[in-house]
Amino acid sequence: MMGQNDSGIRVGADRMKGGKRRRLEVAAEQAARRQVEMAKRLLEEGRAVAVNVKALAPDGSYDSPDFVKRGYYFDQPFDCIDCGKPETWTAAQQKWWYEVAKGGVWTTARRCRACRRKERERRIEARRVHLEGIARKP
């Protein structure tokens, strides 16, 4: 609790803080201010997309993903795990995945579009073969 009493004397926890603790608090406040300024700049430049927290699917976690804490999505580069091709998961794609498709908030892109299509076809074929095998059993 910070403040002064009627006679102007500092009271509460503020009075007991040492210089090191206060310097750490000031540094944290400055970092938070810089992050807010950077977010505003990225949003104005169109390089980021704001997060709508209410549109996210509930996940039951006690923590929040980085993009929620940050307040915006930004383009994230990644390498496809199947073909190794460098790709970019755009801010708009992330917004669609998390807020429209209700994808898990702890998931990220791992495959390029072509490899996702191949993987989807592989799973469909495996499911078809499995169900045919079950149907043939007496």
Q: Can you give the pLDDT of all 138 residues of the chain as single tens digits? A: 455 566 655 555 555 667 888 888 888 888 778 877 877 777 777 778 889 999 999 888 899 999 998 888 999 999 999 999 999 999 999 999 999 999 999 999 999 999 999 999 999 999 999 999 999 987
Contact assessment for residue 3 and residue 12, using Cβ atoms and an 8 Å cutoff: yes
Spatial CB neighbours of 129, under 8 Å, sequence gap ≥ 6: none
Domain residues of the chain, as ranges?
1-45, 48-136
Contact assessment for residue 76 and residue 94, using Cβ atoms and an 8 Å cutoff: yes
Predicted local distance difference test score (pLDDT) of residue 46:
73
Predicted local distance difference test score (pLDDT) of residue 37:
80
Predicted local distance difference test score (pLDDT) of residue 30:
84
Contact assessment for residue 5 and residue 16, using Cβ atoms and an 8 Å cutoff: no
Question: In 37-104, where do the E strands start and end?
Answer: 48-50, 72-74, 76-79, 86-89
- If one counts every other C-beta atom within 10 angstroms of the C-beta of residue 64, the result is 13
Q: Can you tell me the distance from the alpha carbon of 81 to that of 85, in angstroms, rounded to the nearest whole number?
A: 8
Q: Give the DSSP letter string of 50-62.
A: E--GGGSPP---S
